[in-house]
Amino acid sequence: VNMSSMDLEKLKMTGAGRAIAVLTSGGDAQGMNAAVRAVTRMGIYVGAKVYLIHEGYQGLVDGGDNIKLAHWHSVTNIIQLGGTVIGSARCKTFTTREGRLAAAFNLVKKGVTNLCVCGGDGSLTGANIFRSEWSGLLAELVQKGRITDTLAKQHDHLNIVGLVGSIDNDFCGTDMTIGADSALHRIMEIIDAIMTTAQSHQRTFVLEVMGRHCGYLALVSALASGADWLFIPETPPQEGWEDLMCSRLEGGSRLNIIIVAEGAIDINGKPISSNYIKDLVVKRLGYDTRVTVLGHVQRGGTPSAFDRILVSLGVEAVIALLEASPETPACVIGLSGNHPVRLPLMECVEMTKLVQTAMNEKKFDEAVKLRGGSFENNLNIYKLLAYQKPAPSESNFSLAILNVGAPAAGMNAAVRSAVRLALAHGHKVYAVNDGFQGLANGEISAINWHDVAGWTGQGGSLLGTKRIGRVHEEYSFTGASALHHGGFHYIYTGDFQGYEGVLQLFEARCHYDELCIPMCVIPATISNNVPGTDFSLGADTAVNAAMEVICDKIKQSASGTKRRVFVVETMGGFCGYLATSTGIAVGADAAYIFEDPINIHDLTTNVEHLAEKMKKDIQRGLVLRNEKCHENYTTDFIYNLYSSEGKGIFDCRVNVLGHLQQGGVPSPFDRNFGTKLGVKAVQWISEKLTETFRQGRVFANSSDTACVLGLNRKVTSFTPVTELKDVTDFEHRMPKVQWWFNLRPMLKMLAKYQTSFCEYVPGEIEHVTKRSISIDCGF
């Protein structure tokens, strides 16, 4: 197989005659079903037999009906289900050699020599032991006469690939584990509900979340909710923390949120319980305090869009199994930024064990670093925001913040963190209402610490935002005048217009010295079409909105109505990110986008495919269409074509999602991402202000003083707006090359279309070291 690209025929030649088994083990996690579906369908697609092992390792040991041959429809309509439909169980028998001997016998009987295990580090370690003992187990089976020597030689080695399913996100080497994002969704839903009642009654709430050994869920939910205090096992509070916490909670706030990981300890290793914290607050401060233990609700519910899109890991797992040889070490498929990678399994396991060793030895700083750069960065930013207070206005600098273009979830989180950090640095901070138009009209007012309280979970744009024409022509002069009189330096959160506007302001510097100030763009748009970043604020929330509110419910409606196809129109301008991502998340039959041109032949082929599908078990179809995918093949045209060609076989319905995708509360990703980008933007502007302050004024005219703050692969970076011109399609308002386009072959394959994998780039082996896990990722 060519490692630079994939070819369908080569894949089918490799997969023909192979047998793959998949099991889920340990605790369940939302998204496991999406992974099982992807492994099953990819395996069948390349010509392999795929077996589903029910009840985890216990089913593998017991054999019989627990190991079932799968067909394409065995995994239909499971992508939106939580838990694991093939079951999971903790199996003590498999930890013994006798148990593994039985498991080996059951696999050999089915001709299986490729095993995909979805579980935690314990389950994956067990799989590696199984693999290392395989030849010895087969020799013992031959000796006992249970299999023939010929059969043993035909199955002489076992290939293992792991997928990490864990809501705790506690596995070193991968940025995210299957289920963690969905668990954060459950936590934030509860926190949002609690905040309303807490503000009504002026209460303090202590929330206990899962995490016996890892504080990831507690940390990210605290950062995303703006919690007042946090307890996690990796950073136990110092002696006297009770006094410090109570002094910080004093001040008459109507709402105090304290988040506790279930494994929280103090510096001496003594557990800190949620009830102890409650009693402390009541005794010291007399506040009405309640405890909420979230428990297993965090494991429940439907998986988030992110966890469903992680089906890419299941596809990669099958490819890794097909490419494996006896010399290939067991690997686990992880996530590096937005790309699947293959990680040596035992390197990950050993690094994960080092975290607990460091904590047992009370080397807590080392434990935090071993958790990875993202964990450490989240912790540092939480401390920066939670433990800061507004400083006296001693700075010479004034910062202004405005939102540009259409509203997007996460904007308010970015504004909140930017305002508070700027005030903590002693800057004067001003809010501009209604974007560039408000700037030109002088709609500028001071904004204070408490003005942004509670903004993190608010959707839309509380500052207001408006679309305008070209900034240079309409607003450069009046904007420059406003800047001159106010002495402002700017942070913009906004869509493609925000990027284009700052580019035009930068190019107008030669006419207006007032524009020679640092300017930073935080990408915020549901379309995810801003150059210089892989992700924009609001895109994750929009995909979840399209998935949860419409597409899942449409599928439910379709399942109750025989033979029906739904055509759903998404937003996104010319950018097909929303349609593609939502299509993967809901298991759509097709997603039409501008970047992947369609013709009438493609449409008729899809109609024929759906008609054939309707004649079998599955009698519903779902087709997504980006709003500008084609000038002539409109949503109505596609509806009419499908209705006409499907007449007598299926009927058709249309749904236009419209501005629903811009609404709703921000997802945990967008809250967290916005909070971090707001902090990084202020830190960058403060640095540039210091560098360019000369003779009583700021004069910043170099290209690196007008930048887009973006997330690229797994690193946040500042890219000058001028450098992005060559990689930008200004006519269609999007980058010329978009990383997510490589997901489209996977979308088509999972819908059972014949497709080329020439655009799919397989994951590469990445070794897991202390240095590799220290790289910061955006989430």
Q: What DSSP designation does 598 have?
A: -
Residue type, 288: D
Do residues 181 and 304 make contact, with C-beta atoms less than 8 angstroms apart?
yes
Determine whether 269 is exposed, middle or buried from the number of CB atoms within 10 Å of its CB (0-12, 13-18, 19+): exposed
Residue 20 pairs in a beta bridge with: 50, 114
Long-range contact list for 693-702, CB < 8 A, 24+ apart? Answer: 693/396, 693/397, 698/397, 698/489, 698/516, 698/517, 698/518, 699/513, 699/516, 700/516, 700/517, 700/518, 701/509, 701/516
* Annotated binding-site ranges for ATP: 27, 90-91, 120-123
What's phi and psi for 336, nearest 5 deg? -115, 100
Regarding beta strands 651-656 and 693-694, do their DSSP bridges make them parallel or antiparallel, or are they unpaired?
unpaired
> Interior CA angle at 314 toward 132 and 569, to 5°?
175
H or E segment to which residue 741 belongs: none
Give CA–CA dist 555/38, Å, rounded.
Answer: 19
Instruction: Report how far apart, in Å, the C-alpha atoms of 449 and of each of 94, 396, 423, 459, 465 are.
Output: 57, 19, 7, 19, 21
Distance from C-alpha of 140 to C-alpha of 375, rounded to nearest angstrom: 46
Size of the chain, expressed as the number of residues it contains:
779
Q: Could you please report the per-residue DSSP string of 140-167?
A: HHHHTTSS-HHHHHHT---EEEEEEB-T
Sign of the dihedral through C-alpha 273, 275, 279, 281:
positive
Beta-carbon contacts of residue 689 (< 8 Å; ≥ 6 apart): 397, 489, 518, 698
Amino acid at 760: Y
Q: Which residues contact 452 (CB under 8 A, 6 or more apart)?
A: 412, 415, 416, 419, 420
- Tell me whether residue 168 is one of the annotated catalytic residues: yes
Question: Could you tell me the strand order of the sheet in which 289-293 lies?
Answer: 229-231, 255-261, 203-209, 289-293
Strand partners, 118: 24, 163
Question: Angle 755-758-760 (CA atoms, 0-180°, nearest 5)?
Answer: 95
Give the dihedral sign, CA 488/494/497/499: positive
Helix residue spans in 646-705 (DSSP H): 668-692
Task: Pinpoint the alpha helices (H) of 390-443.
Answer: 411-424, 435-440
Q: Which candidate in 28, 62, 168, 181 is catalytic?
A: 168
| Amino acid, single-letter form, for residue 311 | V
What is the H or E stretch that residue 75 is in? Answer: none
Residue numbers annotated as active site:
168
